[in-house]
Amino acid sequence: HTKYVFLAAGSSLTGQSDFRKFEKARKLKDHIDRIREDYRAQLKDREMAVRQRATAMYLIDRFALRAGNEKSSEEEADTVGCCSLRLEHVLLEPPCTVTFDFLGKDSIRFFNKFEVDPDVFKNLMLFKKSKEPGDLMFDRLSTGSLNKHLSSYMEGLSAKVFRTYNASITFEQELEKNMRQLPAGASDTARVLAYTKANRQVAVLCNHQKSVSRNHAASMEKSEDKIRGHKYERRLARLELLIDGPKLDPETRASCLVEESDLDEEWMEDYEKSTQQKKLETLTKKFLKYDDPETASIAKANRKGDRLTPVEIYAAKSPKEQQAIKAKEFEEAEGITDEMKRKRERLMAGKRSKAGMSETVFLKLKKTLQAKTDAIHAAKALLKDRDEGKETSLGTSKTNYIDPRLTYAWCQKYGTKADRVFPKTLQTKFKWAAATPADWEF
């Protein structure tokens, strides 16, 4: 029996291999202009083999197609790449539209429509002439001959290096563009969303797909309910400022008069009930923990300083006192729904509170108003990001195609922790890149 031994992701040899791969792709930027100039000129070459090679190079460079390798067995899946495309995989629509439809690596469907250079379109029309649907589009080209030609520009250059190069350069450009669009003082969450958006552009370029999660619709609905919850709290804060508060400046007053969308009577009643239910569940978990004798011992052992923790204070009480604490907290929680409803109905009816409003409460409500507005914007952006990415796999491009030094440089520049964008596995895999300075460029 054959036994395979694989290097750990964080091993120095694996790190060296990754470093060399990304450095090779980075070196390509010194040659890419000359390569592009040459293949564009060769699109009109008199020799058919040269035209085919130039056309394939255009497709590989422009649309991140894999070169494709010859099959070693007839039993393997019918997966193809650029060099092994058949006529049946390519649909041409004048003047310059090309639709590709084939199974790529790992039997993932590549189905995309592109606008191409007029000379490329003419060549593809020419390559299809007098052929059957099952015939090769590039019948005078192989992956081996293509890579041999590419190595004449740069030692070790092959078609797959273009994929790494274009993924990294696209990520760098998209990330820079996204960061420029953020307002000054943008939150860390907004920066991470800008990073994810750039990551997604690369995943789309490289055709990294995934099936939509079975829980996607439920997850989206839950997120939408969370946004409505923020809107509910903001609406009440606005009404409270209008009705109970002192005279407001015109700008604040105008913002308080804005109605909230998606808040019908039935939803608000359900929200009030669910708020109470969540509080009761939290209390149940809390007292299950507090009633465990080990909890107080652990809290005491981990405590810093002389001040007792809440669980220690509770543990020091008599059983009767503990029961009274529980009863009081549960009684208060069981009145949440009614209390929320009474307050909502009073404010929506425009009735002032008898107690009025102190300066402290006024300032607190203004802060709540801004906090809820910020939370709504952040949650909406996250919701949009999640929906746009439901069919795109971000992990593959981060693991294999985007130079990790771009991520670490970005983290250094904006003070974002690496674990916001890299899971532990990638931090281990790319520890060689962790010290990348903020001004590093691909």
- Residue 36 host element (H or E): helix 32-42
Mean pLDDT score, 182-209: 90
Mean pLDDT score, 127-132: 92
pTM equals 0.73
Please, are residues 245 and 360 in contact by the beta-carbon 8 Å criterion?
A: no
Res 427 pLDDT > 80 = yes
pLDDT in tens, 392-409: 888 889 999 999 999 999
Q: How many CA atoms lie within 13 A of 265 on its CB side?
A: 2
**pLDDT score at 71:** 58
Q: How confident is the model at residue 72 (pLDDT cuts 50, 70, 90)?
A: low
Q: How confident is the model at residue 415 (pLDDT cuts 50, 70, 90)?
A: very high
Q: Exposed, middle or buried: residue 22 (CB in 10 Å: 0-12, 13-18, 19+)?
A: buried
Q: Is 415 left (phi over 0), alpha (psi -120 to 50) or beta?
A: left
10 Å Cβ neighbour count for 241? 22
**pLDDT score at 353:** 83
Q: Cα-Cα-Cα-Cα dihedral of 347, 350, 356, 359, to 10°?
A: 70
What residue spans of 245-358 are helical by DSSP H?
250-256, 265-290, 293-302, 310-315, 319-333, 336-348
What residue spans of 64-116 are helical by DSSP H?
none
Q: Tell me what percent of the residues of the chain surpass a pLDDT of 90.
A: 64
**pLDDT score at 1:** 61
pLDDT in tens, 332-383: 999 999 999 999 999 988 888 877 788 888 889 889 988 999 899 888 888 8
Res 70 pLDDT > 80 = no
d(C-alpha 317, C-alpha 272), whole Å: 33
pLDDT in tens, 243-299: 887 888 888 888 888 888 888 899 999 999 999 999 999 999 999 999 998 988 888
Q: What are phi and psi of 401, to 5 degrees?
A: -125, -30
Q: Which domains does the chain have, with CATH numbers?
A: 1-23+155-210+391-442 (1.10.132.10), 32-153 (3.90.15.10), 216-388 (no CATH)
Q: Which residues are catalytic?
A: 401
**pLDDT score at 11:** 62
DSSP code, position 130: T
**Which one, of 119, 128, 60, lies nearest residue 95 by Cα?**
119
Mean pLDDT of all residues belonging to the chain: 90
Q: Is pLDDT larger for residue 74 or for residue 390? A: 390
